[in-house]
Amino acid sequence: MDDRRMRIGIVTVRDVAYHPNRRLLEAAEARGHQGQLIHPYHSWPAIRKNQTMVIDPRGQGACDVLLPRQGAEVGESSLALIEHFERTRVPVVNTSTSIRLARNQYLTLRALAEAGIPVPDSVLINSQEALSTAVDAIGGYPVVLKHPSGRQGEGIRLADTPEDGRRQLTELLDPRLGVMVQRFIPPEDRRDIRVLTVGRKMAGAMALRPAEGDFRANFHLTGRSRPVDVWPEMEDMATGAAAALDLEIAGVDLLVDSDQRLWIIEVNYAPGFRGLEAATGLDVAGIMVDYIVDAYGQK
């Protein structure tokens, strides 16, 4: 590893009060490196005199490695900025190609299925008339309806009947983006687990529990997490999912159903980790910074 002070750029629309940003900055400083937040709406990719460049009036973009952390809401303008860094040979963890795949849950599940990793039956629809056909294709009601690019449990509904499905779809549907119709795995006797992978290795895991009367297990919704023992098949599935999406850092959400079968339901390229640090005591931010410095300090 290079002993020089590294500048780690963190692409984010949040400020230092946001938990992952604060912890990553703290971890970088504790190791003698500099973390800096790069707001993607304050730097702009450009072409001037036939040369590509970035207009960066705040001087926020000078870094040795880039860590995109904008999440599922990342748009094309921000991805164009990330691609500029890639073209100037600044290492990017994770790459724009991987982000484009991971920000869309349907494309994520398709890539995992093609890699032989079990995922719930899902149909991407873009019209009301497609709903009944999609529901029949995955075995009938109840079904989960979700936005392909939802975040933190948002844009996810449970439909028990055709009438309920039509009503929920009317509220969710944007034909340009579509809605996923997905087989429902009941929360009874189900376990929800988030595995963090860093450098294609498991860094930690936590169990989540839906709130009473809800089917969504998300730390941002419930604030509840606890440590969990991960068996080899689960670890292999999580690291395999990260590899299938070419993600160096990933939050992999798994379900264990009542028959003890494993399913991956989502992979996040910029996972939050407040719940994981609280549940396990791990210095998750430090693990990420150590990986970045070990992997790219000499580059």
CA distances for 241 relative to 71, 81, 184, 291, angstroms: 18, 26, 21, 19
**7-101+287-296 with 187-268: one CATH topology?**
no
CATH of 122-183, one of 1.10.260.40, 3.90.420.10, 1.10.8.60, 3.30.1490.20: 3.30.1490.20
The pLDDT profile of the chain, 299 residues, written as one tens digit per residue, is: 445 899 999 999 999 999 999 999 999 999 999 999 999 999 999 999 999 999 999 999 899 999 999 988 899 999 999 999 999 999 999 999 999 999 999 999 999 999 999 999 999 999 999 999 999 999 999 999 999 987 656 789 999 999 999 999 999 999 999 999 999 998 888 899 999 999 999 999 999 876 665 555 554 444 467 889 889 999 999 999 999 999 999 999 999 999 999 999 999 999 999 999 999 999 999 999 999 999 999 75
Indicate the fold that domain 7-101+287-296 takes in CATH.
Rossmann fold (3.40.50)
- Bridge partners (DSSP) of residue 40 are none
Domain residue ranges in the chain:
7-101+287-296, 122-183, 187-268
pLDDT at 71: 87
Name every residue whose Cβ is closer than 8 Å to that of residue 262 and which is 6 or more positions away in sequence: 118, 233, 234, 237, 254, 255, 256
HSE toward the beta carbon, residue 7, CA cutoff 13 A: 11
Indicate the fold that domain 187-268 takes in CATH.
D-amino Acid Aminotransferase; Chain A, domain 1 (3.30.470)
How long is the chain? 299
